[in-house]
Copies of this chain bind each other. A is one copy, B any other.
Amino acid sequence: MNRNIAIAIHGGAGTILRSSMTPELQTQYEDGLRSALHTGYSILEAGGSSLDAVAAAVASLEDFPLFNAGKGSVFNNAGNHEMDACIMNGKNLEAGAVCGISNVKNPVLVARVVMEHSGHVLLSGMGAEDYARSMGMAFEQDDYFYTTQRYQQWQNAVAEDRVQLDHSDKKFGTVGAVALDIEGNLAAATSTGGMTNKKYGRIGDSPIPGAGTYANNDTCAISCTGHGELFIRAVVAHDISCLMAYKNLSLTDACDIVVHDKLVKIAGEGGLVAIDKHGNIYMPFNSEGMYRACRNNNGKYEVSIYKD
């Protein structure tokens, strides 16, 4: 029996322009991706679970200040950080998620505790923070989440009275990971700081099982990044799984239909990382670029930002 292991991660998609990227900044982004990829892959290589691998990879991306999740989360309209995260286990379809939480160091780890211990799937706001506290999860003060870059982005957005997707160059800030472990189990996780200057407790697709995050051992594991409203309406991650399960499409064909046809038709810009039960990896996006990386035990290793 061919035992494959594989992991794919992303740090958001969007209009990532070479003109606004310096070589130094590009190296920093790539280092952040490489480090998270290594963290997750090492777990798989040591025989660990895909669940452990995606949680660790996403936590690494959350700790990296340039990506919009955890430490690098954008400012909302009130000048705070409201984060969403989700994790799903393809073995038993268990899922855990949190939305609209503040001051939690690693939202993805809280999502996992929700999945494993709360009896619930989705907890929100201060209630979710209370739960995280009761379970001894790590919290950080506001200054931990402060970065000059994010603060400036927020001030610019406030000045122009607009809600924006992460960067001034229209980037959908989200991080995520999918993995297949040696036991054949798939898992997916996604985390985000949402939209700069967002109001009204807006929640995107990231924390919603089936929309931004999905894993099912019979088909695939998916983590999305993009214009969340459109990804929710298209039930993106679950739709790919259904196209594979009910139409016997390959991972690539199923993803292409959703990312390059269905989403394009409703102007749903973004992308995703995907792995099927055989360990095939696909990282499609319909935007200019997507921070992404992947590795398997058959020699595949990639760290990329742009389309070409």
A contacts, CB < 8 Å to B: 93-95, 99-100, 118-128, 130-131, 163, 199-204, 208-211, 214, 228-229, 232-235, 238-239, 242-243, 246-247, 266
Contacts and interface: CB of A to CB of B under 8 A. Distances in A.
Cβ-closest 9 pairs across A and B: A127-B201, A242-B242, A246-B246, A124-B201, A210-B235, A127-B200, A131-B200, A122-B203, A235-B238
B118 A200 contact: yes
Given A100-B124, A201-B125, A242-B246, A119 B208 contact: no
Given A99-B203, A123-B201, 18 more contacts: A95-B233, A100-B124, A119-B163, A121-B229, A121-B232, A124-B201, A127-B199, A128-B200, A130-B199, A209-B233, A209-B235, A210-B238, A235-B235, A238-B242, A239-B242, A242-B243, A246-B246, A246-B247
A107 to B, nearest CB: 14
Nearest to A134: B200
18 contacts: A93-B266, A100-B124, A119-B229, A120-B200, A120-B229, A122-B202, A122-B232, A123-B201, A124-B203, A126-B201, A127-B201, A131-B200, A209-B233, A210-B210, A210-B235, A235-B238, A238-B238, A242-B242
Nearest to A163: B119
A156 B118 CA distance: 21
Contacts of A238: 210, 235, 238-239, 242
A119 B228 CA distance: 11
Contacts of A229: 119-121
